[in-house]
Structure 1
Amino acid sequence: MEVAVLDIKGKETGRKAKLSDSVFAIEPNDHAVYLDVKQYLANQRQGTHKAKERAEIAGSTRKIKKQKGTGTARAGSIKSPIFKGGGRVFGPRPRNYGFKLNKNLKRLARKSALSIKAKGESIYVIEDFSFDAPKTKSMIDVLKALGIQDKKSLIVLGDSNKNVYLSSRNLKGLEVVNSSELSTYGILNAKNIVLLEGSLEGIESNLSK
């Protein structure tokens, strides 16, 4: 499929960018997308939750009442979970929520996400650009020219560009990544995907394997 190449003012340059059908026009695999997004979100969890259990509570170990004759249940420790201030039964412990997925599945998921965006005409291709210095207003002007200033957007660079990255850092709803950092969650979380011409080769080489 072919997409018109725009400049940073939102005007057509008269050139067309060819997007590989094997990356941008496949039949989406919903389950692969689900698994990759699930893994991404799982990896964001710190897993540092912790509740004190019976053995970790500070308190007396004396038997709090006699065994028989009270008319109530036996009780041997104030740290028992049935008492206020006692330990928690099977409380959360620190753990790693991450899990593994094979590379082919993750590749399929990213291609599926890009195909969904391409089908919805949410992908823009613009010529490579840079800024002389980091300036948020310069990035806002680019987004306004493309008509996406009020929408969640993802800009994909071909190579690392410090000034473009720093210019976007203060803008809510905008994320800038290199082609090698592209993730299924990032693609689906954005309303629009803006691909710089220089990123196309990297995306297709990474996902066409």
Structure 2
Amino acid sequence: MKVAVVDIKGKETGREANLSDAVFGIEPNDHAVYLDVKQYLANQRQGTHKAKERAEITGSTRKIKKQKGTGTARAGSIKSGIFKGGGRMFGPRPRNYGFKLNKNLKRLARKSVLSQKAKNNEIVVVEDFNFDAPKTKNLIEVLKGLGADNKKSLIVLGDSNKNVYLSSRNLKTSEVITISELSTYKILNAKKVVLLEGALEGIETNLSK
């Protein structure tokens, strides 16, 4: 698949980038995408929730009323979960929500969403650019030129670029990442995926293994 390479103003440079069919032209696997997104979101959870159970409550251990003859249910401790101030029954405990997925499935998921984006014309290939200094205004101008200023956008760099990255931190709808940070969730969450020329080879190399 051939895509026109544009400059930061959105004008065609006269060159074309060849998007590999092995990465950008496969039949999407929805279940692989689901599992990869589920794992990404699960890994965001801290899992630090905790409620005190009966054994952790401070209180008297005496039997609060006699066993028989009260006409009500027997009760042995004020720390029981049925009383106000008692422990939480089956409460949350700290845990890790993460789970493992094999590398081939994760690659398949990334290729699936990239192929879907390419099919929907939501991928733009831009020639490599840089800023002299971190400035949000400069990146806004670039996004306007690419028609992505009012959309959620994901800019993928070939190598880390401090000035471009810092220019994006004040923008709620735009994110700048490198190839190593590319994930199924981030691609899926963006309405426009902006790939720098320098990132294409690395993406295809990583996902064609």
Query: Could you say which TM-score interval applies, normalised by the shorter chain?
Result: over 0.9
Aligned-partner SS, 1:202: helix
Deviations 1:48-89 (A, max 9, x none): 001111001111111111111111111110001111111111
Match of 2:202 in 1: 202
One-letter code aligned to 2:185: Y
The reply on whether 1:145 has 2:145 as its aligned counterpart is yes
Q: CA deviation at 1:102?
A: 0.4
Task: Give the 3-state SS of the residue equivalent to 1:76 in structure 2.
Answer: coil
Indicate the residue corresponding to 1:176 in structure 2.
Answer: 176
Give the C-alpha shift of residue 36 in structure 1: 0.3
Deviations 1:23-44 (A, max 9, x none): 0000000110000000000000
1:51 equivalent to 2:51? Answer yes
Q: How far off is 1:181 after superposition?
A: 1.4
How much is the aligned-residue C-alpha RMSD, in angstroms? 0.6
The residue aligned with 2:72 is 72
Tell me which residue corresponds to 1:189.
Answer: 189
Identity between Structure 1 and Structure 2 (%): 84
- Cα separation, 2, equivalents of 1:70 and 1:120: 72
Give the structure 2 partner of residue 162 of structure 1. 162
Q: What is the Cα deviation at residue 129 of structure 1?
A: 0.2
Partners of 2:71 and 2:34 lie apart in 1 by 56
* Offset of residue 180 of structure 1: 1.9
Q: Deviations over 1:126-171 (max 9, x none)?
A: 0000000000000000001111101000000000100000000100
Matches within 5 A, 1:26-105: 26-105=26-105
**Structure 1 CA distance for aligned equivalents of residues 159 and 55 of structure 2:** 54
- State the partner residue of 2:22: 22
What is aligned with 1:3? 3
SS of aligned partner of 1:177:
strand
Deviation beyond 4 Å, 4+ runs, structure 1: none
Secondary structure of the residue aligned to 1:156 is strand
Whole-Å Cα distance in 2 between the matches of residues 58 and 173 of structure 1? 48
TM-score by length of 2: 0.99
What letter is aligned with 1:39? Q
Note the residue ranges of structure 1 that are not aligned, 5 or more in a row. Answer: none
CA distance in 2, matches of 1:81, 1:178: 50
How many residues align? The count is: 209
Query: 1:72, 1:39 → 2: CA distance?
Result: 49
Q: Which amino acid aligns with 1:48?
A: T
How far is the alpha carbon of 1:106 from its aligned partner? 0.3
The amino acid that maps onto 1:87 is G
Q: Retained in 2: the 8 A contact 1:180–1:202?
A: no
Task: Flag structure 2 segments of 5+ consecutive residues without an equivalent.
Answer: none
